[in-house]
Amino acid sequence: MIQLRKNIASSDSGFIFNPATGDSYSANPIAADILHHLKSGKSVAEIKTLILGKFDVEAGQLEKDWDDFIAQLREANLTEN
Amino acid sequence: MTAPNQQPTIVVAVTGLNAIDSPGPGVAVIRAIREGMKQPVRIIGLSYETLEPGIYLHDVVDKTYQIPYPSAGLEALTGRLKYIHEKEKIDVIIPNFDAELYNFIKLGTTLRSLGIETFLPNLEQFEARDKINLYAFGLKYGLSVPKDKVIYHANELYACAESFGYPLVVKGKFYDAIIAHTLEMAQKAFHKLSAKWGFPIIVQQFIHGTEINIAVLGDGKGKAISIIPMRKLYITDKGKAWAGITLEDEGLIKLANQFVEATHWKGGCELEIMRTAEGTPYIMEVNPRFPAWIYLSAAAGQNQPAALVNMALGENIAPYTGYEVGKIFIRYAWDHITDVSEFQKISAFGEL
């Protein structure tokens, strides 16, 4: 389970704001979707299923990109764990 | 109940009208006061130089008087303030420059006897947080501060570099800081800053991290009335914030509360913080007055200048409890047009 920090603000357009640091980021549509699902408390497996159903992406590619994306979130200090 | 337009006008005198590339806080302080006071307000500008923009902004400042430079001494300042007070009946003075604060603090009792209130730290508080004493100040109150050394000769720089390593920060007595990566750079900075601000020079350990500033208003009894942390988003070559954003961070609020509780700070101040990657907030400097970005405090919901005026007038103000996170200020330059007759008045008569 990946938990975003409670105070992280994000919009449907993919804008992410960390109020503790003042940093802001832009996420592409898939990343914005993932963030939305993470915020609503969905599990990793559920989110991956939703993404595979909605976007034209191979499961293998999603796995690879997923790890990169989560690493970026952690590096930006946007996750609790 | 008295209608707002029947309330007596509060007369507030404010310095720091130099809204230039390294701006004084005066114009921002006035903007916040005009917005935040329930009573009508008359603003008296106190200027040092004839081209301070605030002098000519008549919707900001109602009337400006030049006052003598701090180096002219207490007597000259007292005489001038008495003259201005006779004409304007000042209720509160808010000085906004580090270099003038010593005189205004010393004059506190005299001003009060004239009926003018200030809301300033005492001399002990003022001097304890001076750059020269910052390291001892941090040790005394258990606050994280960088190591430093106060020096009077350029040949002491080598020893500083030996103990702090490079880069190190060379700081002027009142203003300015230069990051030096070599001994030659440090020597050049030493000579430049000592020529501009005099001695001593402070050499400080360089702390790598994110620059954060905190605007704080203390009640003088150990309670913080307002704390607004801001991260600089755009920094000028003089190190000044040209854009910034309010932050939500319990650690910063705790640090500012700890500072006010320990020092019983009275009035406005700005804590300059460097937060390391590990999250440790180091206090790099304590500026003993409102910062130039203080209007952001009002925009975020905690009007520090207006609260200070009310406290100076004897009102008990409860500490603010919330503010808007993610509020941004973006400073801009504007060519204000005036006539030479205005310039002539302030130049010839010291009043406008």
pLDDT tens digits for range A22-71: 999 999 988 999 999 988 889 999 999 999 999 998 999 999 999 999 99
Inter-residue contact B67 to B81 (CB < 8 Å) = yes
| β-sheet bridge partners, residue B92 | B12, B117
Please indicate whether, in this complex, the C-beta atoms of B247 and A7 are within 8 angstroms of each other. no
Is the model's pLDDT at B206 over the cut of 90?
yes
Inter-residue contact B29 to B15 (CB < 8 Å) = no
HSE, side-chain direction, 13 A CA sphere, residue B249 = 26
The amino acid that residue B13 corresponds to is A
CA distance B152 to B323: 44
Q: Is residue A54 part of a domain?
A: yes
Of residues B57 and B128, the one with the higher pLDDT is B57
Contacts of B247 in chain A (CB under 8 A): 19-22
Name the CATH architecture for the domain at B147-205: 2-Layer Sandwich (3.30)
Q: Is residue A23 part of a domain?
A: yes
Contacts of B249 in chain A (CB under 8 A): 19-20
CA distance B103 to B107: 6
pLDDT (tens digit per residue) in B103-133:
999 999 999 999 999 999 999 999 888 888 8
Nearest beta carbon to residue B249 from set A9, A17, A20: A20
Number of structural domains found in chain A:
1
pLDDT (tens digit per residue) in A1-18:
788 888 888 888 889 999
As a whole number, mean pLDDT of residues B22-38 equals 95
pLDDT of residue B4: 52
pLDDT of residue B290: 97
- Rounded to 5 degrees, what angle do the CA atoms B19, B22, B26 make? 40
| Sign of the alpha-carbon dihedral angle for A4, A10, A14, A19 | negative
Minimal CA–CA distance to B351: which of B62, B22, B129, B26? Answer: B62
Residue whose pair of structure tokens reads 């914030």 in the numeric block? B241
Q: Is residue A80 part of a domain?
A: no
Minimal CA–CA distance to B244: which of A77, A19, A22? Answer: A22
CB contact, 8 Å: B72 with chain A?
A: no
Please indicate whether, in this complex, the C-beta atoms of B248 and A21 are within 8 angstroms of each other. no
- What number of residues does chain B have? 352
As a whole number, mean pLDDT of residues B186-190 equals 95
Contacts of A21 in chain B (CB under 8 A): 210, 231, 247
CB contact, 8 Å: B248 with chain A?
A: yes
Of residues B92 and A13, the one with the higher pLDDT is B92
The amino acid that residue B325 corresponds to is V
Give the strand order in the sheet containing A9-10: A9-10, A15-18, A23-26
B298: which 2 tokens? 């009002």
Is the model's pLDDT at B2 over the cut of 60?
no
Please indicate whether, in this complex, the C-beta atoms of A22 and B245 are within 8 angstroms of each other. yes
- Rounded to 5 degrees, what angle do the CA atoms B245, B248, B250 make? 140
CA distance B34 to A53: 57
**How many CB atoms are located within 10 Å of the residue B348 CB?**
9
Instruction: End-to-end CA distance of chain B: give it in Å, rounded.
Output: 36
Q: Is residue A81 part of a domain?
A: no
**Using alpha carbons only, how large is chain B's radius of gyration in Å?**
20
Is the model's pLDDT at B96 over the cut of 90?
yes
Q: Which residue of B has its CA nearest to A21?
A: B247
Inter-residue contact B175 to B202 (CB < 8 Å) = no
CB contact, 8 Å: A75 with chain B?
A: no
Q: Is residue A2 part of a domain?
A: no
Under 8 Å CB-to-CB from B15, ≥6 apart: which residues? Answer: B24, B26, B45, B46, B47, B48, B67, B94, B95, B96, B97, B100
Nearest beta carbon to residue A19 from set B210, B233, B326: B326
Instruction: Judge if ipTM > 0.90.
Output: no
- pTM for the model stands at 0.88
DSSP secondary structure string for all residues of B161-230: HHHH-SSEEEE-SSS-EEEESSHHHHHHHHHHHHHHH-S-EEEEE---SEEEEEEEEEESSS-EEEEEEE
pLDDT (tens digit per residue) in B128-158:
888 888 888 898 888 999 999 999 999 999 9
Contacts of A7 in chain B (CB under 8 A): 248, 325
pLDDT of residue A3: 86
Q: Which residue of B has its CA nearest to A7?
A: B248
Contacts of A19 in chain B (CB under 8 A): 247-249, 325-326
Which of these ranges, B5-9, B194-198, B305-309, B326-330, has the smallest mean pLDDT?
Answer: B5-9
Phi and psi torsions of B307, nearest 5°? -65, -40
Reduced to 3 states (helix: H, G, I; strand: E, B; else coil), residue B263 is helix
Reduced to 3 states (helix: H, G, I; strand: E, B; else coil), residue B12 is strand
What residue spans define the domains of chain B?
4-119+335-349, 147-205
pLDDT of residue B72: 93
Rounded to a whole number of angstroms, the distance from the CA of B161 to the nearest CA of chain A is 31
Rounded to a whole number of angstroms, the distance from the CA of A53 to the nearest CA of chain B is 35
Inter-residue contact B213 to B189 (CB < 8 Å) = no
CATH number for the segment(s) B4-119+335-349: 3.40.50.20
Q: Is residue A39 part of a domain?
A: yes
Contact residues, A window 9-68, toward B, CB-based 8 Å cutoff: 9, 17, 19-22
CA distance B1 to B50: 43
Q: How confident is residue B85, by pLDDT bands cut at 50, 70 and 90?
A: very high
A1: which 2 tokens? 């389970």
Minimal CA–CA distance to B265: which of B140, B138, B121, B144? Answer: B121
Please indicate whether, in this complex, the C-beta atoms of B247 and A17 are within 8 angstroms of each other. no
Please indicate whether, in this complex, the C-beta atoms of A19 and B325 are within 8 angstroms of each other. yes
Please indicate whether, in this complex, the C-beta atoms of A22 and B231 are within 8 angstroms of each other. yes
pLDDT of residue B5: 56
**Residues of the domain holding A47:** 9-75
As a whole number, mean pLDDT of residues B285-296 equals 96
Q: How confident is residue B29, by pLDDT bands cut at 50, 70 and 90?
A: very high
pLDDT of residue B239: 79
Please indicate whether, in this complex, the C-beta atoms of B248 and A22 are within 8 angstroms of each other. no
Give the strand order in the sheet containing B241-246: B281-287, B266-275, B210-219, B224-235, B241-246, B328-330
Q: Is residue A64 part of a domain?
A: yes
Inter-residue contact B152 to B201 (CB < 8 Å) = yes
pLDDT of residue B154: 93
pLDDT of residue B240: 85
Q: Which residue of A has its CA nearest to B252?
A: A20
Helix (H) or strand (E) holding B245: strand B241-246
Q: Is residue A3 part of a domain?
A: no
pLDDT of residue A2: 82
Is the model's pLDDT at B77 over the cut of 70?
yes
Contacts of A17 in chain B (CB under 8 A): 326
